[in-house]
């Protein structure tokens, strides 16, 4: 999944255990509406430092996985969701990987619409070739 928004804030890296660390950040979407959405994402392990290159207020595209888990506690079963980011890009095109993707896409001239079958309806063959 992917979403575009404005980086509202990023938090410090939290070391949960000797083998696990995470870092959370807030992405604001629908900022020009009466009800902007502030979504909490996290990055884990070696991806924690990718947030260092982005500043609050920058428009970014986040690619993420939606994770869910069940927890059995004293008050019963509860469910939790996590938006786990695995790739972040600036939307202004200054990211080198996105500029490479754009230049490689320019070499490929994809048709704007799929081809339309123009055979006769009375044909017994239902395949368009």
Percent of the chain with pLDDT over 90: 68
Domain that holds residue 81: 2-102
Decide if 127 is inside a domain. no
Res 98: pLDDT: 41
d(CA 43, CA 82): 10
Is there a contact between 85 and 63 (Cβ–Cβ < 8 Å)? yes
Tell me if 114 is assigned to some domain. Answer: no
* 77, two tokens: 């079963």
Is the residue at 63 inside a domain? yes
pLDDT the model gives residue 74? 94
pTM: 0.67
Evaluate whether 16 touches 22 at the Cβ level (below 8 Å): yes
Domain count, the chain: 1
Q: What is the DSSP string of 104-129?
A: HHHT----SS-------TT-S--S--
And the tokens for 14? 């939290």
Q: Rounded to a whole number, what is the distance in angstroms from the first to the last CA of the chain? A: 36
Dump pLDDT digits (tens) for 10-58: 999 999 999 999 999 999 999 889 999 999 999 999 999 999 999 999 9
pLDDT of residue 24: 97
Structure tokens at 78: 């509860």
pLDDT beyond 50 at 94: no
Euclidean distance between CA atoms 42 and 80, whole angstroms: 14
Q: Are strands 14-15 and 21-29 parallel, antiparallel or unpaired?
A: antiparallel
CATH code, 50: 2.40.50.140
């Amino acid at each position: 999944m992917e979403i575009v928004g404005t980086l509202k804030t990023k938090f410090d890296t939290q070391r949960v255990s000797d083998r696990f660390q995470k870092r959370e950040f807030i992405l604001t979407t629908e900022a020009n509406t009466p009800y902007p959405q502030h979504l909490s994402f996290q990055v884990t392990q070696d991806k924690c430092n990718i947030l260092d290159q982005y500043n609050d207020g920058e428009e970014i595209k986040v690619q993420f996985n939606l994770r869910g888990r069940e927890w059995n506690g004293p008050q019963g079963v509860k469910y939790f969701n996590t938006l786990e980011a695995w790739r972040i890009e600036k939307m202004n095109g200054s990211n080198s990987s996105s500029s490479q993707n754009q230049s490689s896409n320019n070499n490929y001239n994809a048709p704007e619409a799929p081809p339309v079958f123009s055979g006769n309806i009375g044909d017994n063959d239902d395949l368009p070739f």
